[in-house]
């Protein structure tokens, strides 16, 4: 399993033709708890508001905090798979994950550590190797405390989760999976059937006919947790779209329109894509979206990364226009 901080290097996931890959979306709160614990205990800033970091940090018991420090080791992204004992191939509760952790045999913990670290066990993991049963009980306590501290957040996020499930479903059925992957997170890159994810320990993977599972997380906007090693499926945990407003002030984004393009790429970007059937200047785009130039630039950068628009210069003017992929997406979803 990979718990991935933003880095200049990238792990490469070769997907090929995404229309041939079965895509699913599941709700697995435990994946979010992994991300939250690493951010809070490791002292990272991955977009979780300070108030939530304090709330989670104050809830974790001392032994759980000490156990979770192994997950927050800087300069690495690879974690033993037993941290997520129930794969998010289907919806699973955080309580069930914690109970499964508590019941892990010592041999499974030691085997998992050996698979990741071999005979070069980092000092932070020594406590798990020396006292496996005590360590898994403490880490399960840390997950449980984090779940309880954020319980009301999950209740408020239910409409956003329902909308995300609908969004992924529409994209998968109507040929918009490329766009979803390209816009999954600002630092992701998707091009020619390959998804690039920022990673401190980059690697290369292929789907090999496996299902792709997307797991929306209640976590910082710069967080991602993934696993590309399982036999039947690969999965990616990513920040739930619209979560920022909920974390900051308890407000979700307005409900999307009925148009499929609005649902898949968001209302502002859908409006922009429709308009870019012909070249447009950046000032025109800002006026179209009724936003600041910096906001218009942000939306354009996301669509460029997804391969849906491109920019080119004519003299002193930068023009923006849809790519053939962008044309196809508008035709499919509008």
| 96-141 per-position pLDDT tens digit | 999 999 999 999 999 999 999 999 999 999 999 999 999 999 999 9
- What confidence category does residue 221 fall into, taking pLDDT thresholds of 50, 70 and 90? confident
The answer on pLDDT for 56 being more than 90 is yes
| Residues 71-84: tens digit of each pLDDT | 988 777 889 999 99
User: What secondary structure letter does DSSP report for 172?
Assistant: H
Which pLDDT score is estimated for 165? 93
Domain range list for the chain = 2-247, 254-333
Question: Are 296 and 286 spatial neighbours (Cβ–Cβ below 8 Å)?
Answer: yes
What is the third-level CATH fold of 254-333?
Arc Repressor Mutant, subunit A (1.10.10)
Alpha-carbon span 94 to 145, nearest angstrom: 11
Question: Are 269 and 258 spatial neighbours (Cβ–Cβ below 8 Å)?
Answer: no
| Euclidean distance between the first and the last CA atom of the chain, given in angstroms as a whole number | 37
| Residues 145-168: tens digit of each pLDDT | 999 999 999 999 999 999 999 999
User: pTM here?
Assistant: 0.86
Alpha-carbon span 149 to 8, nearest angstrom: 33
User: What secondary structure letter does DSSP report for 254?
Assistant: P
Which pLDDT score is estimated for 252? 53
**Closest listed residue to residue 264, CA positions, set 195, 158, 169:** 169
| Residues 262-285: tens digit of each pLDDT | 888 888 899 999 999 899 998 899
């Amino acid at each position: 399993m990979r718990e991935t901080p933003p880095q200049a290097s990238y792990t490469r996931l070769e997907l090929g033709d995404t229309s041939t890959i079965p895509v699913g979306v599941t709700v697995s709160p435990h994946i979010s708890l992994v991300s939250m614990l690493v951010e809070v205990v490791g002292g990272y800033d991955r977009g979780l508001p300070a108030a939530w970091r304090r709330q989670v940090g104050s809830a974790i018991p001392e032994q759980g905090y000490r156990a979770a420090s192994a997950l927050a080791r800087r300069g690495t992204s690879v974690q033993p798979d037993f941290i997520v004992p129930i794969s998010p191939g289907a919806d699973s509760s955080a309580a069930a994950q914690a109970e499964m952790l508590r019941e892990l045999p010592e041999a499974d913990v030691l085997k998992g550590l050996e698979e990741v670290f071999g005979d070069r066990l980092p000092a932070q993991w020594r406590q798990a190797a020396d006292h496996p049963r005590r360590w898994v009980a403490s880490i399960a306590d840390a997950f449980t405390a984090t779940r309880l501290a954020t319980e009301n957040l999950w209740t408020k996020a239910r409409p956003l989760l329902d909308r995300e499930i609908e969004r992924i479903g529409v994209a998968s059925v109507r040929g918009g999976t490329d766009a979803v992957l390209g816009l999954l997170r600002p630092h992701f890159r998707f091009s020619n059937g390959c998804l690039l994810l920022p990673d401190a320990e980059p690697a290369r993977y292929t789907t090999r006919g496996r299902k792709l599972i997307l797991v929306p997380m209640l976590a910082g906007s710069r967080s991602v947790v993934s696993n590309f090693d399982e036999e039947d499926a690969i999965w990616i945990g990513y920040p739930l779209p619209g979560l920022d407003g909920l974390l900051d002030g308890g407000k979700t984004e307005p409900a999307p329109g009925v148009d499929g393009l609005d649902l898949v790429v968001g209302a502002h970007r859908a409006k922009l894509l429709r308009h870019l059937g012909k070249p447009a200047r950046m000032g025109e785009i800002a006026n179209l979206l009724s936003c600041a130039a910096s906001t218009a630039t942000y939306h354009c950068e996301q669509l460029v990364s997804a391969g849906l628009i491109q920019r080119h210069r004519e003299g002193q003017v930068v023009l923006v226009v849809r790519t053939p992929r962008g044309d196809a997406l508008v035709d499919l979803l509008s």
